[in-house]
Amino acid sequence: MKKEKKIIYINLDGFSYSYYQYLHKHKLDKGFLELANDGIFFRNLYSGLISITNPMQSAILCGAWSNKTHNFYQHFDKETRKVLKHFRTFDAENIAQLFLKNGKTVVSIHQFMLENNPCVRGEKNNNYITSPKEHSNYKDRFELLGKIIKKEPIVIDEKEIVYEEFPDFLALYIDDLDSLGHNNNYEQFYKKKTYGERIFDIISRLNDIQNELVRMKELCISEGIYNDLIILLTTDHGMTPFFGKSHLNELRDDLNSLGIKAEVATCVKDDTEVVLLPYTIECSLYYIKDLDKEKKRKIDNLLKSKHYILKYLYKDEMMKKYGLDDRGPDVLISPIYNEHFYTKDYLENYGGNHDSLHKTSQHIFGMIFGGDIKKEVFTKRYRSIDLLPSIIRSNNNYFLKDSTSNNLFDVLSRKA
């Protein structure tokens, strides 16, 4: 019987594949290429709907979309006529729960979707660990991982915990790229006016993270555990820049000009027929009164005519193709690159977000590596929910009960 490997799952929030393409084009991806030599590299890995952090983090951990997790960030509730946020709703079985149920040790380092679900601060067998620093970055969090690899004590509330054996499953969450991609003020990187300026900050930090990953590999080799590891490195979503005037009020007014009573979610009236609920880049439409075929036809023709719309999806398609919760919108509208439906205009500095169907948000980075995994480049299209179910099926013969992944692959094709 084969020996089960330990699993490290690293999520670099906001790692658009477009960032990797920039690295590769400028020959700055030496570290990633070294890691890719030890396993599987994904050229066509994609996020889901709605591509926002909490929904996508939970999706990866359970191998299912929002029809199982019940988290797609927010929805307009037709009964209460209010916007309901989903926060950390996570109703599907996740990998840490499954491992713990089977007597395995699980650890989360800042992977917040596992906090108290089932990882609890200070519980050795299902530990939730955070940096003592109030504002920790990639280096602080990798340092915690390094302590576990080296069997050094982790101090939590004056209690020392040492892992003499590496945990069976460890999740590490890092959000430097996400903060920079949103064009926030972050550490020494100040907010920039254009994406063309910001990309240098993003690449600088990505290089730092790349080097840290190589050091992690070297540490695992020196500690004699690299051949016993499967390391998944991926992300929840990418990032798309936007700028200029919002199309939110324009779309509302256009709908009203067609004789359809439309309002933004914060201004719903008794006679409102269609509610516009914006995210940041995208906008969703909720039909809160029955619309006849003629009004639906008018909406479709309007959306087709707008130059600023990249793509729009109807509810049936989203439920069937993207596993969207049935509380989702009747229509999801995603604008072209640089346009947006935010509740305010962006006229001074550009903004960045990832609720978009543009490839910069949907096409994401992913690789699986370790000391005993056959090198392979996957060009077939995979989804983020396919990753962990494939790993634990190959390695542990485990199946997440709520997983809807039907595109599994073999992780443990051994090196020759």
pLDDT at 413 over 80: no
Domain match, 270 and 223 both: no
What pLDDT does residue 407 have?
Answer: 83
The domain containing residue 226 runs over which residues?
Answer: 6-239+359-396
Residue 413 lies in a domain: no
Average pLDDT for 146-152: 98
Structure confidence by residue, pLDDT tens digits, 113-127: 999 999 999 999 999
Confidence category of residue 3, pLDDT binned at 50, 70, 90: confident
Average pLDDT for 374-392: 95
Domain match, 268 and 332 both: yes
State what percent of residues in the chain have pLDDT above 70: 99
The SS3 assignment for 298 reads helix
Domain match, 211 and 167 both: yes
Domain match, 125 and 188 both: yes
Structure confidence by residue, pLDDT tens digits, 296-314: 999 999 999 999 999 999 9
Please, which residues bridge with residue 367 across strands? 41, 233
Give the pairing type, strands 283-287 and 309-314: unpaired
Residue type, 359: K
Determine if residue 323 is left, alpha or beta; phi over 0 gives left, psi from -120 to 50 gives alpha, anything else beta.
left
pLDDT at 166 over 70: yes
Confidence category of residue 1, pLDDT binned at 50, 70, 90: low
Domain match, 54 and 164 both: yes
CA dihedral (215, 221, 225, 229) positive or negative: positive
| Tokens describing residue 226 | 């690299």
Give the pairing type, strands 346-353 and 382-383: unpaired
Q: In what order do the strands lie in the sheet with 363-364?
A: 363-364, 45-46, 382-383
Domain match, 150 and 70 both: yes
Q: What is the mean pLDDT of the chain?
A: 96
What pLDDT does residue 416 have?
Answer: 40
Work out how many domains the chain is built from and give that number: 2
* CATH code at position 293: 3.30.1360
Structure confidence by residue, pLDDT tens digits, 312-354: 999 999 999 999 999 999 999 999 999 999 999 999 999 999 9
Rounded Cα gap, residues 284 and 278, in angstroms: 6
What pLDDT does residue 222 have?
Answer: 98
* CATH code at position 227: 3.40.720.10
Residue finishing a domain among 344, 379, 409: 344
pLDDT at 224 over 90: yes
Structure confidence by residue, pLDDT tens digits, 353-374: 999 999 999 999 999 999 888 8
Backbone angles phi, psi at 162, to 5 degrees: -120, 135
pLDDT at 64 over 50: yes
Domain match, 204 and 60 both: yes
Domain match, 153 and 224 both: yes
Query: What DSSP character marks residue 188?
Result: T
- Whole-number Cα distances in Å, 56 to 47, 194, 411: 7, 27, 22
Residue 204 lies in a domain: yes
Domain match, 198 and 233 both: yes
Residue 291 lies in a domain: yes
Long-range Cβ contacts of 315-321 (<8 Å, 24+ apart): 318/49, 319/67
pLDDT at 43 over 90: yes
Structure confidence by residue, pLDDT tens digits, 14-41: 999 999 999 999 999 999 999 999 999 9
Residue 183 lies in a domain: yes
Residue 166 lies in a domain: yes
Residue 408 lies in a domain: no
Domain match, 102 and 196 both: yes
This prediction has a pTM of 0.97
What pLDDT does residue 77 have?
Answer: 97
Domain match, 231 and 292 both: no
Residue finishing a domain among 344, 367, 384: 344
Residue 338 lies in a domain: yes
Residue 163 lies in a domain: yes
Domain match, 279 and 365 both: no
Contact 209, 225 (CB under 8 A): no
pLDDT at 2 over 90: no
